[in-house]
A and B are shown apart, each in its own frame.
Chain A
């Protein structure tokens, strides 16, 4: 099994999808000659040409809006948004058209468009480069939202997203882009819209996604040293949520901590908490606790260590849950 970084795995996944289906296009700012600012699309324009890997004019509304048109024409565009904070000029097209064309045409016009967004903080960047806007998309009916957390998922999930006949907002954990892992290229480990138990455990369930999966796995390792047994679940699909494994886990542990970098208000973590308390009310031995970014704009980078949930804050919540 080859070792790959997440960035490389995404690139290889895109390459495989383009090889397989000539209707797959890549479009975005600097994705061609430069290979994207994170080099995810490195080499693709050279190999597939400028008609399949488009260095677009600088306009996100243009990228999404023309992708909608290309999809109407039968293409399967994969749009790259350069950073999380730059998706908003395209948000209108995403919410008003991309999300709704299937419904409006009553299925006559599918929208197989993927919007890739590097998200999250922890890279010491200037404003608008560290945000976690996933809940703004999960809230919109008609959109599917996923987040990968490791190289193998990156490789497979991007291909599965491209094969999906609905629009998929695909979040990539930018601060983990350079982390390597083994990738089995033989077959996908799981369907796209499924959560996965990454570490079985019996005392507290920890649900997370994207960049904080690694943090939570590290927290579980640290907890183990103190004799605590955490189960870590990577949600992967944020809309639709696949909470079956979470319900099953919480029925065993009675404790749930949900972890995300995004602000907590009206968020994916809020949705998970609401559904778990509804489904697992009699199994819960403590309220569902959340460890999240604060309900503030993303702060200047020198404050981000305080803003971002880390191993200690996860363990603190675990302790509070157990002590309830």
Chain B
């Protein structure tokens, strides 16, 4: 039955040997036969019976838009890395390789939907109308997220792994209680929630509890797991024996695995999952099967725990390249379009650099502000005392000069 030598990724009857795990030789590029794909790594558009209708409106113009989105967020991401290297940011969390998974999901969201990100969702943020400059403060250390989560309908980044899965579920329960689920579809009245987390996160109790609660209340949550194969240095095999999408079954809702490097498939599957939720059939688990092409963060060194070969393998599945090839081959798009997008990306990078360098440090007031709805006498006293102390310092420095 279980032949450890003949390990088939995704097949629960076979198990990886320690060598498979230790050397990182996991054959992780194989998504298995259940993988939903609309655009092959070679850029060939392939039909999919179940999800074709959710991609029917994707014409050349829209495909170009998706391409543009991915190129721009990748460029912003690379600039984030560079700004960290230049000492402008304390850390950067790269999304490299996950552009399709994020743009596909982000573009499926309607304005009235809500999203709960983890900390790598720069592409989803982009789709929610959050300018990349608004992300910089988190990594520069000037704020914990500068956008208005309620206005953008995109919650703050959540760093404690898994926490947001329960928060998203609670939000979605509210959508049910407010009668925003099911009923007639006018296009804007029905809502859903999308919750983003990683493969490692699936081991956390909060994620499990989120699944249980969402099922118990038919909460309209799309649990969108970006399986990028790694949780820092820990490979997927340490978190699960079965493919992650199959876990949904145990909770009583559908799970589906989509090629996370295929923006069309991610968009179509996300649209389907959100529609399920809006109509009252939620929750849904989507596993976007992708790969973290860079280190975990700029503080990490992936060469300590995974083989370059694995990264090389995934380069062949690049999410942007396949769209470019498709645009050229199947739509005859001219080089001029790509040059324009590249120029736009250059301009975005330039804008990010300039913005980052000019970012002011927060004033010490920030420490004490909005700790409570009512001013706390204790915190106010500490603030007054500290600011006076600081002031006295400035004076004494002034008088010495």
Question: Is B378 in contact with A265, judged by CB distance below 8 angstroms?
Answer: yes
Q: Which listed segment binds A: B46-54, B329-337, B344-352, B359-367?
A: B359-367
Can you name the residue of chain B whose Cβ is closest to the Cβ of A264?
B382
Q: How far is the CA of A127 from the CA of B90 in the complex (A)?
A: 12
Interface residues of B in 127-170 (CB under 8 A from A): 137-144, 159-162
Does A193 have its Cβ within 8 Å of any Cβ on chain B?
Answer: no
Contact with A along B359-386 (1 / 0, CB 8 A): 0011010111001000010110011001
Q: Which listed segment binds B: A85-93, A107-115, A132-140, A250-258?
A: A85-93
Does A307 have its Cβ within 8 Å of any Cβ on chain B?
Answer: yes
Question: Is A127 in contact with B144, judged by CB distance below 8 angstroms?
Answer: yes
Contact with A along B20-37 (1 / 0, CB 8 A): 001000000000000000
Question: Is A58 in contact with B90, judged by CB distance below 8 angstroms?
Answer: no
Does B85 have its Cβ within 8 Å of any Cβ on chain A?
Answer: no
Q: How far is the CA of A33 from the CA of B144 in the complex (A)?
A: 31
**Residue of A50, A59, A86 ringed by the most chain B CB atoms within 10 A:** A59
Q: How far is the CA of A61 from the CA of B91 in the complex (A)?
A: 27
Q: Given A294-B386, A301-B90, are A57 and B239 also a contact pair (CB < 8 Å)?
A: yes
Given B141, B159, B234, which contacts A300 in the complex, CB threshold below 8 Å?
A: B141
Interface residues of A in 16-48 (CB under 8 A from B): 29-30, 32-35, 37
Does B238 have its Cβ within 8 Å of any Cβ on chain A?
Answer: yes
Does B201 have its Cβ within 8 Å of any Cβ on chain A?
Answer: yes
Can you name the residue of chain A whose Cβ is closest to the Cβ of B91?
A126
With a CB–CB cut-off of 8 A, which chain B residues contact A56?
234, 238
Contact with B along A286-307 (1 / 0, CB 8 A): 0000000011110111111011
Q: How far is the CA of A30 from the CA of B393 in the complex (A)?
A: 44
Does B279 have its Cβ within 8 Å of any Cβ on chain A?
Answer: no
Question: Is B203 in contact with A34, judged by CB distance below 8 angstroms?
Answer: no
Given A62, A88, A307, which contacts B160 in the complex, CB threshold below 8 Å?
A: A88
Question: Is A89 in contact with B204, judged by CB distance below 8 angstroms?
Answer: yes
Question: Is A59 in contact with B204, judged by CB distance below 8 angstroms?
Answer: yes
Question: Is B299 in contact with A294, judged by CB distance below 8 angstroms?
Answer: no
Does B231 have its Cβ within 8 Å of any Cβ on chain A?
Answer: yes
With a CB–CB cut-off of 8 A, which chain A residues contact B204?
58-59, 61, 89
Question: Is A34 in contact with B389, judged by CB distance below 8 angstroms?
Answer: no
Given A37, A297, A307, which contacts B371 in the complex, CB threshold below 8 Å?
A: A297
Does B205 have its Cβ within 8 Å of any Cβ on chain A?
Answer: yes
Q: How far is the CA of A126 from the CA of B137 in the complex (A)?
A: 10
With a CB–CB cut-off of 8 A, which chain B residues contact A33?
22, 233, 304-305
Contact with B along A308-323 (1 / 0, CB 8 A): 0000110010000000
Question: Is A127 in contact with B159, judged by CB distance below 8 angstroms?
Answer: yes
With a CB–CB cut-off of 8 A, which chain B residues contact A58?
161, 200-201, 203-204, 231, 234, 239
Can you name the residue of chain A whose Cβ is closest to the Cβ of B162?
A89
Does B310 have its Cβ within 8 Å of any Cβ on chain A?
Answer: no
With a CB–CB cut-off of 8 A, which chain A residues contact B366?
299-300, 303
Does B206 have its Cβ within 8 Å of any Cβ on chain A?
Answer: yes
Interface residues of A in 50-85 (CB under 8 A from B): 50, 55-59, 61-62, 85
With a CB–CB cut-off of 8 A, which chain A residues contact B315?
none
Can you name the residue of chain A whose Cβ is closest to the Cβ of B18?
A50
Question: Is A126 in contact with B386, judged by CB distance below 8 angstroms?
Answer: no
Q: How far is the CA of A312 from the CA of B397 in the complex (A)?
A: 13
With a CB–CB cut-off of 8 A, which chain A residues contact B216?
none
The total of interchain contacts (Cβ-Cβ below 8 angstroms) comes to 123
Question: Is A294 in contact with B367, judged by CB distance below 8 angstroms?
Answer: yes
Q: How far is the CA of A126 from the CA of B201 in the complex (A)?
A: 19
Does B232 have its Cβ within 8 Å of any Cβ on chain A?
Answer: yes
Q: How far is the CA of A89 from the CA of B200 in the complex (A)?
A: 14
Given A62, A85, A303, which contacts B362 in the complex, CB threshold below 8 Å?
A: A303
Does B249 have its Cβ within 8 Å of any Cβ on chain A?
Answer: no
Does A128 have its Cβ within 8 Å of any Cβ on chain B?
Answer: yes
Q: How far is the CA of A307 from the CA of B365 in the complex (A)?
A: 11
Question: Is A124 in contact with B201, judged by CB distance below 8 angstroms?
Answer: no
With a CB–CB cut-off of 8 A, which chain A residues contact B299?
37
What's the nearest-Cβ distance from chain A to residue B59, in Å? Answer: 40
Does B390 have its Cβ within 8 Å of any Cβ on chain A?
Answer: yes
Question: Is B231 in contact with A89, judged by CB distance below 8 angstroms?
Answer: no
With a CB–CB cut-off of 8 A, which chain B residues contact A55?
233-234, 238
Question: Is B203 in contact with A303, judged by CB distance below 8 angstroms?
Answer: no
Does A125 have its Cβ within 8 Å of any Cβ on chain B?
Answer: yes
With a CB–CB cut-off of 8 A, which chain B residues contact A124?
90, 141
What's the nearest-Cβ distance from chain A to residue B396, in Å? Answer: 10
With a CB–CB cut-off of 8 A, which chain A residues contact B91?
125-126
What's the nearest-Cβ distance from chain B to residue A299, in Å? Answer: 4
Question: Is B139 in contact with A34, judged by CB distance below 8 angstroms?
Answer: no
Given A29, A89, A126, A265, which contacts B205 in the complex, CB threshold below 8 Å?
A: A89
Chain A residues in the interface with B (C-beta under 8 A): 29-30, 32-35, 37, 50, 55-59, 61-62, 85-86, 88-89, 124-129, 265, 294-297, 299-304, 306-307, 312-313, 316
Top 3 A-B pairs ranked by shortest CB distance? A301-B141, A34-B233, A57-B203
* Sample (8) of A-B pairs whose CB atoms are under 8 Å apart: A50-B18, A57-B234, A129-B159, A294-B368, A295-B378, A299-B366, A303-B367, A316-B389
Please give 17 more A-B residue pairs, beta carbons under 8 A apart, in addition to A85-B160, A302-B140: A33-B304, A33-B305, A35-B304, A37-B299, A55-B234, A56-B238, A57-B203, A57-B239, A58-B203, A89-B205, A126-B91, A127-B159, A295-B371, A296-B367, A303-B364, A303-B366, A307-B367
